[in-house]
Amino acid sequence: MYNFLLPKEFVTSVFEITPEKLMELGIKGIITDLDNTLIEWDRPDATNEIILWLQLMQEAGIRVIIASNNNQERVKHFAEPLGIPFIARARKPLGAAYYAAMKELRLNSSEVVMVGDQLLTDIMGANRLKLYTILVRPVAESDGFVTRFNRFVERRVFNLLKRKGIKTWEEQQ
């Protein structure tokens, strides 16, 4: 069961994910979560740093799509000005959004990475489809209502991983 929850990598921010690193892995596309992965869940617009990171990926030929469980208005407001395709109300960890994202990117599962901040949605869903997974430390200390339950479960998983000697970004503080 925990294998579905274990990402391939833990990073403290998306800025540790570089085009060079992705190309070494054979990755040509990124499916990314939005809230608390790219920006805080209550921030409406992209930061300058995120805009530059997205441009860096685009210049390297790495395609990006946002798959968020948040509503259409929220995700569209963020993604449309940046020209990034998106899937709102993705219902992660269910597989439909991941399949739709891969179709949009015109890539197969071995060429795609899922970047997200939640084990129970982003990582579990992507692992079931055998995508490369990267768990990012949440960019905000606070969460929306639904996410708080997920964080409770994540803490239990992190404690189990710690007991098994698996280092997460929790130990990199």
Instruction: Quick: pLDDT tens for 35-62.
Output: 999 999 889 899 999 999 999 999 999 9
pLDDT for 146 equals: 61
The answer for residues whose C-beta is within 8 angstroms of residue 95's C-beta and 6 or more apart is: 125, 128, 129
Which pLDDT score is estimated for 143? Answer: 58
pLDDT along the chain (173 residues), means of 10: 80 96 97 95 92 97 97 97 97 95 97 94 93 92 63 71 68 49
The confidence score (pLDDT) of residue 159 equals 72
The pLDDT score that the predictor gives to residue 5 is 80
Model-level pTM?
0.85
Structure tokens at 44: 């409406």
End-to-end CA distance of the chain: 27
Q: Which residues contact 158 (CB under 8 A, 6 or more apart)?
A: 168, 170
User: Count of domains in the chain?
Assistant: 1
Say what the pLDDT of residue 163 is: 74
CATH number assigned to the domain comprising residue 118: 3.40.50.1000
Q: Domain range holding 104?
A: 2-172
What is the reported pLDDT for 173?
45
Beta-bridge mates of residue 64: 30
39 Cβ contact partners less than 8 Å away, ≥ 6 residues apart: 45, 46, 47, 50, 78, 139
User: What's the pLDDT at 140?
Assistant: 76
